[in-house]
Structure formats: structure tokens, C-alpha cells
Amino acid sequence: VTGSGRAVLGIDVGGTTFTVVLLAADGEVTAAAEEPMPIGLAPTAALKTVTATARTLLATANLLPRELVAIGLAVPGSVDVARGVLRSAPNLPGWRDVPVAAIAADALEAPVAVDHDVRMAAVGESRLGAGRGVASFVCMTIGTGIGAALVLDGRPYRGASDAAGEIGHVPVATDTTAMELCGCGRRGCLETVASGRAVAERVRRLARAGAATSAPALAGGDVDAISARHVFAAAAAGDAVCARVVEDAVTALTAGVTVLVNVLNPEVVAIGGGVSAAGAALLDRLRAGVRAAAWSPAVDVVRIVPAALGTRAGAIGAALHAAEHGGRRTC
């Protein structure tokens, strides 16, 4: 359809799903696909499934990978951006020192720029979403895991080893919250109290122990099927067990966002990810908590808003960032 040679492709690989988007030169999404991540495949085979979906998407637009301006690939976990290697990813078990850029480039027969998923979501939001026109911008994702990324003067901030923004692994747990083992190997991380996975798992454990909660009923009677969505719905309907778990999550998130606000003094903090889809109520409580806890000069200017691009943010950001760097590996 486009055939203009100005299109860019973005791919976002996650622990449960992967997303592929095709963008026109003006940033408009012209085609997109979101599919479950293949379970139980080795990284190379899994990436081949992902790139096959990308090729199908391109074929429907009458494009070949080499006709694109750039291809960007966003991955979770610890990423060596310059080498295009995924060092490790707690939400992708078995992926260790995987040369994801080389594998994807080989399958697509075109160069692929690799970067961190939350950082690319932040770039997407800063170009086309909640951080548009904002000089100091933080994008926080609360989903299966919790992460944050910073865009300063339009540029993603990486830190000394591409590890900046890992707010999900800040210790926040107290006696009242479980000191769960985190995917990072430590205990008490924000992610173990407030991620979607953690919220659901805490209620599953309480339900198995006999706590009086309506969450199993919402999950069709199957305790194992309880998701964060069920927990938020039950809490909103007055379920005390779920309300307590949500309260712990909000308290922990408030601590995490307060750190971001006090240390970075951002103009906007955008909140995205599956848990943020729990809606306005969660965001309102988070805003009130941060307003009460954070340093006045910083909290007086910050706007805490929902992210605008949804589950496509990472893929969109990866595509735009790759295009801005001419499709080369970025530095």
C-alpha cells in the first residue's frame, strides 16, 4: 500500500505477547499485529516466529524488509544496546546472552536496532503520546513487571550500562507486605508487591489459605485463573481481602513514583502497562499519595497522566528510534 520506502517497522517482544507495528513516515500506524509469545521455544525459534509475523505484515503492505527506512526491536530485561544482545530477562526464562539483533536481522535480511522495551515505550510516548513536547519526561510501565524510562531533551537516558530506570527493583516491601523472591533474585522489590503478576499471586495465595474473597468466583471458580484484573474488580466492589492487596500495591507504587519525582524532577510522569488499565481510580490514588509524599518544588509541577499509546508504545518507540538513528545500532 505504502511502497514509498519511507515506512518503519517496530517489534516489541514481551513475556506474554509480542507486538509488530508498521508506521508511515508521518508516524501513523498503518498495520499492526499482537500475538501470544510462543511458549517453550528456544530464543532463536521464538524470534523466528516473531519475524515471520513481521514478514506477513509487510507482505500485506507490499513491502520487503530491506525497503524499510529502519527496523527497531524492543526487548525486556538487561540489554547490551551496542552489541544488540539480550543479557537476561526475568520474564523470558532461558533467554541469556541472546544475540537478538543478529538473529532478527538474519531472519529479516535487513539491519535491526535493538533497545530496551520500557525505554522504547518512553520514546514512543515522547514522540507521539503523553510526553509530546515535554523536556523532562518519565514513562513508567506497570504490567507483568514494573519499569521506568527517562527521556531528557528528547533523548532516552540509558545510564552507564543501559540499566537506568529499573524502579521495579527498588526495595519497598515492609512487614505488612510479602517479602517475595523477585525475578531479579532479590526480595522486597516494588515489582513483588505492585506488578500485575504480584497482585494476582498474593490473592491466589490468600484464597488457597481460605481467605474470604470473591476473586475466585470472578475467575470462574478457578483460583489459579485469578488475574490482576479480577483483583481490582473485586476490590472496587468492596472485597476486603482484595482491597488490602490493592492498598499495599498503591502504597508501594506511591513510594516508587515519589523517588522518581524527587530525584528527577520531571514535567510529566506517564503511567502505562496492564495494571494502569485498572483505570482512573488507581491513578487518582497514586496522584494523591505522591502529592502528600513528594518534595514540594518537584511535586508542584509534575503531571501524572495515563500513557497514551497502549500496548503498542514499545513497538512504536522502537521503530521511531531506529529511524532517527538511520536504522543503525544506536549509541
> Which residues lie near Zn ion (CB under 5 A)?
169, 182, 184, 189
* Rounded least distance, CB 151 to Zn ion, Å: 23
- Cα separation values, 107 from 49, 117, 194, 253, Å: 10, 20, 37, 40
* Rounded least distance, CB 4 to Zn ion, Å: 44
Closest CA to 53 of 97, 13, 5, 98: 13
Q: What is the DSSP letter of 223?
A: G
CB-nearer residue toward Zn ion: 118 or 323? 118
* Rounded least distance, CB 172 to Zn ion, Å: 10
CB-nearer residue toward Zn ion: 7 or 257? 257
SS3 label, residue 312: helix
Residue 274's CB: how many other CB atoms inside 10 A? Answer: 18
User: Hey, which residues does 70 pair with through a beta bridge?
Assistant: 8
CB-nearer residue toward Zn ion: 51 or 177? 177
| Contact (CB, 8 A) for 100 and 114 | yes
| Contact (CB, 8 A) for 72 and 11 | yes
* Rounded least distance, CB 250 to Zn ion, Å: 19
* Separation between Cα atoms, residue 178 and residue 189, nearest integer Å: 10
CB-nearer residue toward Zn ion: 68 or 173? 173
C-alpha cell at 329: 545500532
CB-nearer residue toward Zn ion: 119 or 169? 169
Residues in the chain: 331
From the number of C-beta atoms within 10 Å of its C-beta (0-12, 13-18, 19+), residue 62 rates as: exposed
Q: What is the DSSP letter of 275?
A: G
* Rounded least distance, CB 173 to Zn ion, Å: 10
CB-nearer residue toward Zn ion: 178 or 184? 184
CB-nearer residue toward Zn ion: 21 or 172? 172
CB-nearer residue toward Zn ion: 20 or 142? 142
* Rounded least distance, CB 121 to Zn ion, Å: 19
* Rounded least distance, CB 197 to Zn ion, Å: 12
* Rounded least distance, CB 87 to Zn ion, Å: 15
* Separation between Cα atoms, residue 115 and residue 120, nearest integer Å: 7
Closest CA to 41 of 13, 12, 20: 13
* Rounded least distance, CB 185 to Zn ion, Å: 7
CB-nearer residue toward Zn ion: 104 or 228? 228
Identify the helix (H) or strand (E) that includes residue 304: strand 303-306
CA neighbours closer than 13 Å in the CB half-sphere of residue 147: 26
The one-letter code for the residue type at 290 is V
Most distant CA atoms of the chain, gap in Å: 61
